[in-house]
Amino acid sequence: MLSRIGIVDGAYCLPGSAQDIKKWGPKVGVSQDRVKRLISNGCKHFHISSDESDSDLVVRAIESLWDKLPFVIDTKDISFIIHARTQPFSIPAPPESLLSHVKRRFGFDPLLDLSLSQLACASVMKAIEISLSMLTSNPEASYALVLTSDRVFGEAEYRLRQDGGIQSDGGGALLLGRKNVKAWIAPPMFRYRSKLHLGPLAPGNAQIIAQTCWKDSRDLILQSIDTYQLGPTDILPINADLSLWQLIIKSLAWNTDRLFAGNIKRRGHACSNDFIINMVDYGFERITENCPILSFGQSNLGTQACMISYPVNQYWEAHFESLA
């Protein structure tokens, strides 16, 4: 039987006004040809922080989350805080601590708090998996808080993701619990290629990643719909690599409207934050329309992940519990 744990709500912070690659690119030495290639791959807007730290972005996301909740949450009921990031520098240097800053700011005193990054943009799915495990094994615990943050340094050299994406700075907060949920969630599924753990900087890895990433993501979709006996399902991708996602949809012979790709253009690729951003912008509303959602976390370190979120109603609850 699936653990009855779901997403209560989520919020994100994308700092400043949206930047436009057409205007920003020439200012930092990006060629017109590359700008055109990025635009042809669905990219346009993204966000750059000024003097905000990762802690600042996360705090603003939590504040937005608290404002959205239809009830007042007692911070003592937050039993677990799991922070995920992609960029290795998206936590302050010791002796500072993002999690210590957040705990002081809000008065949290969790049973467990930790930060992880080894799975890059799939880390948010691992953070959710850990949170589900902790809540399941501690039935007296009420809530887990998943936090995400990423910032990019180095201008275009590091902000542009080849020609398939533009990285945004941002922070996110996701509240998981047993009551007042917007969507139930099934445990995330993962695919690992440990030989690629060094990423595209290792000789030969970039080509292998390009060849295997979309296939592994497609196979995870097939595994998910087979496990949970679903038909074609709406997909929330990471907010990059439009051509690869279109290839996946084509290989599945699904209608293109199953792919929520609009945030590649509107938000940019905010790395570990993409899942929360896409759920807030699209996923929660779609789930209220009685549609399960398949969300992704991808990395260029050999890990792909996906997770099913499904509606809070008797039909879908019975469907998923019958398969567990």
* pLDDT tens track for 127-163: 999 999 999 999 999 999 999 999 988 778 889 977 8
Does 55 fall in a domain?
A: yes
Query: What pLDDT is recorded for position 199?
Result: 67
- H/E element, 112: strand 112-116
**What type of residue sits at position 297?**
G
Task: Please tell me whether residues 228 and 270 are part of one structural domain.
Answer: yes
**Structure tokens that stand for 269 in this block:** 């690729």
Does 303 fall in a domain?
A: yes
Task: Please tell me whether residues 105 and 79 are part of one structural domain.
Answer: yes
Query: What pLDDT is recorded for position 158?
Result: 84
Radius of gyration of the chain from its Cα atoms, rounded to whole angstroms: 19
Is the sign of the CA dihedral 57, 59, 60, 64 positive or negative? positive
Q: What integer is the mean pLDDT of 97-124?
A: 92
Give the CATH number of the domain where residue 305 resides.
3.40.47.10
**What type of residue sits at position 98?**
L
Position 125 pLDDT exceeds 80: yes
Task: Please tell me whether residues 277 and 131 are part of one structural domain.
Answer: no
Task: Please tell me whether residues 157 and 24 are part of one structural domain.
Answer: yes
Q: How confident is the model at residue 200 (pLDDT cuts 50, 70, 90)?
A: low
Q: How confident is the model at residue 234 (pLDDT cuts 50, 70, 90)?
A: very high
Does 1 fall in a domain?
A: no
The number of distinct structural domains making up the chain is: 2
Query: What pLDDT is recorded for position 76?
Result: 94
Task: Please tell me whether residues 227 and 162 are part of one structural domain.
Answer: no
Per the structure, the complete domain to which residue 318 belongs is given by: 184-323
Say which residues have a Cβ less than 8 Å from residue 156's Cβ, sequence separation at least 6. Answer: 25, 28, 29, 30
Mean pLDDT of the chain: 92
Task: Please tell me whether residues 189 and 169 are part of one structural domain.
Answer: no
Position 308 pLDDT exceeds 60: yes
Position 106 pLDDT exceeds 80: yes
Q: Using DSSP bridges, classify how beta strands 78-84 and 143-150 pair: parallel, antiparallel or unpaired.
A: parallel
**Structure tokens that stand for 198 in this block:** 């060094």
Position 288 pLDDT exceeds 60: yes
Domain finish residue from 142, 160, 182? 182
Q: In terms of residues, how long is the chain?
A: 324
